[in-house]
Amino acid sequence: QSVLTQPPSVSAAPGQKVTISCSGSSSNIGNNYVSWYQQLPGTVPKLLIYDNNKRPSGIPDRFSGSKSGTSATLGITGLQTGDEADYYCGTWDSSLSAGVFGGGTKLTVL
């Protein structure tokens, strides 16, 4: 049971937009920055979004992040088959004094 809650799976057609939610509490998302990671099959997790909505260099602007209260959202526009991957949200939990991840969301591009 993860501290952060993500939907197990989402799907959309190529070219469409999808959003992935990440729900937490005041001790984690509510008072700390959120990061998002993409893990393509058989590869190392890759940072997509940090500090709620910032993109590292090299990450296309098709990927966006937002936060409201105790929830965060990853948005992906112009879906490509190459976007099929597991996506994880992560943040710090001030009550646990520990890092926490969501359970992951598998994106299928139909």
Partner 1 sequence: QVQLVESGGGVVQPGRSLRLSCAASGFTFSSYGMHWVRQAPGKGLEWVAVISNDESNKYYADSVKGRFTISRDNSKNTLYLQMNSLRVEDTAVYYCARSSPTDYWGQGTLVTVSS
- Residue window 79-98: x/- pattern of binding to partner 1, with contact defined by CB under 8 A: -------x-x-x-----xxx
Rule CB under 8 A: is residue 65 a binding residue for partner 1?
no
| 50 or 70: CB nearest partner 1 | 50
Residues 40-59 that bind partner 1 (CB under 8 A): 44-47, 50-51, 56
Min dist CB 29 to partner 1, Å, is 15
Q: What does the alpha-carbon distance between residue 99 and residue 92 come to, in Å, rounded to a whole number?
A: 4
Q: What does the alpha-carbon distance between residue 11 and residue 23 come to, in Å, rounded to a whole number?
A: 19
Among 22, 79, 100, 109, contact with partner 1 (rule: CB under 8 A) = 100
Q: Can you spell out the DSSP letters for the chain?
A: --SBB--SEEEE-TT--EEEEEE--TTTGGGS--EEEEE-TTS--EEEEBTTTB--TT--TTEEEEEETTEEEEEE-S--GGG-EEEEEEEEETTTTEEEEB--EEEEE-
Binding residues with partner 1: total (CB under 8 A): 23
State the residues that interact with partner 1 by CB under 8 A.
2, 35, 37, 39, 44-47, 50-51, 56, 86, 88, 90, 96-104
